[in-house]
Structure 1
Amino acid sequence: MNSARDPRIAIVGAGLGGLTCARVLQQHGRHVTVFEREASADARPQGGTLDLHVDTGQAALRAAGLLDRFHALARPEGEEWRVLDFADATLLAHQGPSAVGGRPEIDRGQLRGLLLDSLTEGTVRWDRPVTGATPLPDGTCRLLFRDGTAEDFDLVVGADGAWSRIRPALSQAAPRYTGVTFVETGFDHCDTRHPDLARLVGNGSMLVKGAGRSLAAQRNSNGHIRAYIALREPENWHVAAGIDLDDQRAVRTYLLRMFDGWDESLRYVLSNSDSGFINRPLFVLPAPHTWEHVPGVTLLGDAAHLMPPVGLGANLAMLDGSDLAHALVAESGIGDAVRAYESIMLPRSIEAATSSAPGLDHLVPATAS
């Protein structure tokens, strides 16, 4: 039976949603353990820049007591957007930063570091990969680890992203390929090493769209620009093309051919990046994605509602984490808390997933607009 006095709570995944949940729980004196498969906080780069929305990501940080620290790191000027013509790189549309700083940008790694630093030492157990979760007859849940060990908890929270190992305990849904792949690359010290590209991107983000092809670039902190080459192609486009993704020169040559006819100042993104190319096919969960309540286990973030990368995912994951933590504090039992959380989160995620689906078509149109 669940212990209402001192419940055993495990969060699987030290991403933004799971860490937000852990932080809010600890603020209210609740014990929580986060299990993360990566070996350390800096085991891999954490991705690009995020715009945090007032009513979602920022609301979660306010609940976590971290909003002021966020604003000290955030870049309000990063809200700027520029849309350019692919044929001659002329400016088609421009949106400057909000006068009130409504959606300031922050590097994902900086935000994750802010959350990690706010937790009690030892909260995150690094290098602890999970293989699954088994709900038990008494309403608890057994967490299974790669090394063959297991631990039982009153609640297991799957915050482990697109390929969640916890999701199968609740749902048989699996991510499906969207038909769009991002190929990521980057530029260091952009203002001195790549000044023309820096001017095109500005203080925020640049978007250039063609038929089945787009280029997006975003300014990160410390003079870095992260760029995404978006392709509306089969998931294994490189196999059909005979391209070895480890052969960076071959990838670069092939991508340049795919963007033949684009302005040379834009093709610079393909020909002169400082880092290699990382292939990132985009997946989504079916929408709507829902499940019947199962005692002892729930999901948040991409594990619950994987969507196209159109600015909602991280914000919703953090709000999920905050809402779940508050429910666990406010309700008398874990079962009631999880039901209360799911009654809010599931309708919200269905609405967001449905509304975000056209966003990817807008970002990477199938035909010239």
Structure 2
Amino acid sequence: MTTTPRIAIIGAGPAGLLCARVLQLRGIEVTVYDADTAVDSRDPGGTLDLHADSGQIALEDAGLLAAFSELARPEGQAKSRLDQHGTVLSSFVPEEGDLAAPEIDRGQLRIMLDQHVRPATVRWGHKLLSATSLGGGQHRVEFANGHSATVDLLIGADGAWSRVRPLLSEAVPQYSGVSFLDVRFDEVDRRHPGIAALVGDGHVFANDGDGRAIIAQRNSEGRVRGYLGLRTELDWAASAGVDLADTASVRRYLLAEYAGWAPELLPLITDSDGEYVNRPIHTLPAPLTWRHRPGVTLIGDAAHLMSPFGGFGANLAMLDGAELARAIAEEPSTDAAITRYESVMLPRSGELAVQANQAIARFFAPGQAPAPDHEAEHRRYQEGAAAYRR
């Protein structure tokens, strides 16, 4: 980069923080804005598997593989798949030394990344209201707290409902036809031993081949997060007369929906230590592309929101951030950097978004879809990692 541009990243999730970290390692200043009041001000969600061919490459670029390894849970890669009667259809246990896709809690990852950008890099409590093109590649950003700034490079890392995306695309998230209800189990080994045994060190997936599923995953600190998945209308609760704020009302509805499921699976519905949180799954059209525009681009979910099946979203988000930061440091202008970055990111994310969206559709379609081959999956991650650096 021949001149020093004013760079703003909107969103302090894994994509935005990783991008900022790599930029700073390359001696480039950046400001990150986020609507949250602090890095840990809200429930960050469950656990992530960071793939050797994407998320881990980004962490290597950021000099954070060792820090990640201190928090990662390789044993969390274990997976089992059941039907609604509790019959085990398939299982996978990682071999000793398998680091293809270790797990880390989302909150731990975000805090780790925040700790490794310079102090005051992130401006917390800055909710973006508008982003406006001023011409010549410059943009003005205005925030709910009254702050505003003019920047030479605007990077939208602001997730599914990005306010930066409209500068590049008219695409908006679409409901996938599947909703998850988020549940949580604390001190699981002591208080919920049946659930602990069922989930083990990793994940358990159960579905009935008729649009209902239960997914549960081991997190750190003795916690299990669960997702009760339904193929249903977006307004299912209102249509069914269910008050989402009334735990007993939601539980009655779910027990009726999951009637006939194995008794050992039902505590994942009835015994949550928190409220049921409705999380409809939205996706962007895939593959999504846009015409290059000077001074603005997108990374992470803002660019390629996809279903969580396959675990590509956060991994691609971090790789996006690393690759964009490298391009900014190595190209002579921000325009050249954006062109280089988007020429690789758009086709890659488009292909994987299609796969992820097809995977969730198959899982919730009538009948039992074939279980993924996790051993082959891990080999692909490792082979992809080796090929990436050639």
Above 0.5 in TM-score?
Answer: yes
Instruction: Please give the alpha-carbon distance, in whole angstroms, between the structure 2 residues aligned to 1:55 and 1:184.
Output: 29
**Structure 2 unaligned runs (5+)?**
370-390
Runs of 4+ displaced beyond 4 Å: none
Amino acid at match of 1:94: S
Offset from partner CA, 1:133-170 (integer Å, 9 cap, x none): 11222221111222444211010100000000100011
Amino acid at match of 1:276: E
Identity of aligned residues (%): 49
Instruction: Please give the alpha-carbon distance, in whole angstroms, between the structure 1 residues aligned to 2:126 and 2:357.
Output: 34
Distance 1:132 1:98, change over 3 A: farther
Instruction: Please give the alpha-carbon distance, in whole angstroms, between the structure 2 residues aligned to 1:347 and 1:135.
Output: 26
Matched, 1:12 2:10: yes
Instruction: Please give the alpha-carbon distance, in whole angstroms, between the structure 2 residues aligned to 1:218 and 1:53.
Output: 17
Alignment check: 8 A CA contact 1:213 1:365 kept: no
Offset from partner CA, 1:60-102 (integer Å, 9 cap, x none): 0000000011011100000000112212x13221100243221
Amino acid at match of 2:346: L
- TM-score w.r.t. the length of structure 1 is 0.97
Post-superposition shift, 1:274? 1.0
Residue 252 of structure 2 aligns with which residue? 253
Residue 172 of structure 2 aligns with which residue? 174
Residue 95 of structure 1 aligns with which residue? 92
Alignment check: 8 A CA contact 2:52 2:99 kept: no
Instruction: Please give the alpha-carbon distance, in whole angstroms, between the structure 1 residues aligned to 2:272 and 2:122.
Output: 35
Which secondary structure does the structure 1 equivalent of 2:39 belong to?
coil
Instruction: Please give the alpha-carbon distance, in whole angstroms, between the structure 2 residues aligned to 1:86 and 1:233.
Output: 18
Alignment check: 8 A CA contact 1:50 1:107 kept: yes
In the TM superposition, 1:135-174 aligns within 5 A as: 135-174=133-172
Alignment check: 8 A CA contact 2:40 2:111 kept: no
Residue 341 of structure 2 aligns with which residue? 341
Amino acid at match of 2:90: A
Residue 313 of structure 1 aligns with which residue? 313
Instruction: Please give the alpha-carbon distance, in whole angstroms, between the structure 1 residues aligned to 2:83 and 2:282.
Output: 28
Root mean square deviation, CA, Å: 1.2
Distance 1:58 1:180, change over 3 A: same
Amino acid at match of 1:28: R
Matched, 1:65 2:58: no
Give 2:74's match in structure 1, choosing from 76, 79, 97: 76
Instruction: Please give the alpha-carbon distance, in whole angstroms, between the structure 1 residues aligned to 2:295 and 2:160.
Output: 21
Residue 126 of structure 2 aligns with which residue? 128
Which secondary structure does the structure 1 equivalent of 2:184 belong to?
strand
**Structure 1 unaligned runs (5+)?**
none
Residue 113 of structure 1 aligns with which residue? 111
Residue 289 of structure 2 aligns with which residue? 290
Offset from partner CA, 1:289-320 (integer Å, 9 cap, x none): 11111111100000000000110000000000
In the TM superposition, 1:27-38 aligns within 5 A as: 27-38=25-36
Instruction: Please give the alpha-carbon distance, in whole angstroms, between the structure 2 residues aligned to 1:250 and 1:81.
Output: 31
